[in-house]
Structure 1
């Protein structure tokens, strides 16, 4: 069951309790990829297996898990606050405008947490670390790069719905607003363009790309016309209809950047990266050199994952990712 053993024959119950508690708790102040190597060496293989299964059953789930980590880190840092359910004391981020009826894959995180408790013997892996590792493993499962994920985050005891409404970049943003949004998180334009490449996987709802396909002028006409077949001009029945963010939405490649060069970005904020501004040359680079994109994407994911993490004795390790202990 657990990744450790304690010889119990001659131990006083209180001593045994203290021994187990020590194995179930680790407090360090610095993130490191080896954080769980001794306290639960089966943690990362367990997460990988669950993510691979989830993505195999539904490739779109990979994009959802990656997006969850992004939406967590941009709101008060990478602390798993996005996972907390609504309670009288918690104003859940799940109901913030960027997340409501949009953010998904919570059940995969639940499955990971439950299985980790079994293989580790106790709640030792934080929900914030689960989000970081599932994001990486989702990218790998869809053919993208692997990177060492620094670990040792702890979980928030609160959620920040109002901040989520302000801090998560909007799909309607222009380039200056996007740059400022990332700058607020300590991320530069290189990070902006590389992390936007996450839109090489997954889909978006009609309600977020409707203004682009009916009003934008920097869009390929045939591309806009094809999308209009499944997304009506008027608000209503087609709002939740999906369109792929790029034609190979189940494969982590560079098609996203090719789309931007050809004015086929699905979201207004995507196409804003390629319009003569400071990000255009980076789009061209990643379009023509997938290795450059993969390298920078991995670096930027690590950088994003380091946004204001709770470490050491700050925060908690939630026994249920949906609830405060």
Structure 2
């Protein structure tokens, strides 16, 4: 190969690498040189938080989901800039874990100032939270930068428990997520609780005929109604995965198949042919031998979700504190 051709090949490879960077590709171990202890610092903060709050795993997992579905995974939900901040949107009610992200950020700033984004902390904390709930361990591609927008109006189109299955599929598709991703990311409800507030219509005023949702197993209905009585305290909480709310597993999909789904949006996964096939795919007779792995598929979906609308390179910023723009 002549020197001219070799030089041309080198330039093409070099330019391709720069194109990859400009396209905003995330990489595993992004901070290995600039802040080598970044991931272990986040893990330590999450572990400490779990010692005083047994519910922190689902809280941090939900925070990651809600961040990514508005303006992409850019930490926009963390901003506290008054009553119109995104975090105060109706669709974000009950979202928490902000103090854990703030603690991790403070430790990272003391160790590697101006290096690790809040958006990456959210993604890493969710990963660590899943592992603490006996879920799968996985590597998180990092390199996100923090967004510069935060407004309640931006969260207007979040997926909602009252959405039809068609609406849910459309909202996920809009973010580049498939029907399979919808099932798997909904299965994150395998850990954590929900409030009776989200159950009232399903139990007592189910559209269009009123009464209770006929999809609820008759053996399960009295149990739900005893926890969430009509005109009762809507702040009372109940597990979203009856019988396995502390462990990250596919038990919630089994509940969905048998009419024991707590949330209406979860139950609807079994009413649609496409999503029902996905749910059933984890329970075939030969699935343990030849079938797909729920844990592996979930990891694929959450890593995919974690790359929605990411800002990298010269886009966005690295916040000094997660609650305020620089």
Within 5 A, what are the aligned runs for 1:52-91? Answer: 52-87=47-82, 91=84
* Alignment deviations for residues 272-312 of structure 1 (CA, whole Å, 9 cap, x no partner): 00125211111112346586111111111111111111100
Which residue is 2:118 aligned to?
127
1:92 aligns with 2:85: yes
Once residues 241 and 78 of structure 1 are traced to their aligned partners in structure 2, the CA distance between those partners, rounded to angstroms, is 30
Once residues 286 and 138 of structure 1 are traced to their aligned partners in structure 2, the CA distance between those partners, rounded to angstroms, is 23
What RMSD, in angstroms, separates the aligned Cα atoms of the two structures?
A: 1.7
TM-score, normalised on structure 2? 0.86
Q: CA deviation at 1:174?
A: 1.6
Once residues 145 and 192 of structure 1 are traced to their aligned partners in structure 2, the CA distance between those partners, rounded to angstroms, is 18
Q: Retained in 2: the 8 A contact 1:260–1:271?
A: yes
Structure 2 unmatched runs, 5+: 1-20, 205-211
Q: CA deviation at 1:219?
A: 0.3
Q: CA deviation at 1:223?
A: 1.5
Once residues 60 and 262 of structure 1 are traced to their aligned partners in structure 2, the CA distance between those partners, rounded to angstroms, is 26
Structure 1 unmatched runs, 5+: 1-26
Which residue is 1:42 aligned to?
37
1:221 aligns with 2:196: no
Q: Retained in 1: the 8 A contact 2:74–2:146?
A: yes
Q: Retained in 1: the 8 A contact 2:165–2:272?
A: no
Once residues 287 and 128 of structure 1 are traced to their aligned partners in structure 2, the CA distance between those partners, rounded to angstroms, is 35
Which residue is 2:274 aligned to?
278
Q: Retained in 2: the 8 A contact 1:223–1:264?
A: yes
Q: Retained in 2: the 8 A contact 1:75–1:160?
A: no
- Report the 3-state secondary structure (helix = DSSP H, G, I; strand = E; otherwise coil) of the residue aligned with 2:36: coil
Once residues 228 and 156 of structure 2 are traced to their aligned partners in structure 1, the CA distance between those partners, rounded to angstroms, is 25
Structure 1 pair 123–190 and aligned structure 2 pair: CA distance change class (3 A): same
Which residue is 2:160 aligned to?
170
- Report the 3-state secondary structure (helix = DSSP H, G, I; strand = E; otherwise coil) of the residue aligned with 1:222: coil
The number of residue pairs the alignment matches comes to 292
Within 5 A, what are the aligned runs for 1:1-325? Answer: 29-87=24-82, 91-100=84-93, 102-120=94-112, 122-166=113-157, 168-214=158-204, 215-234=212-231, 238-246=233-241, 247-287=243-283, 292-325=293-326
TM-score, normalised on structure 1? 0.86
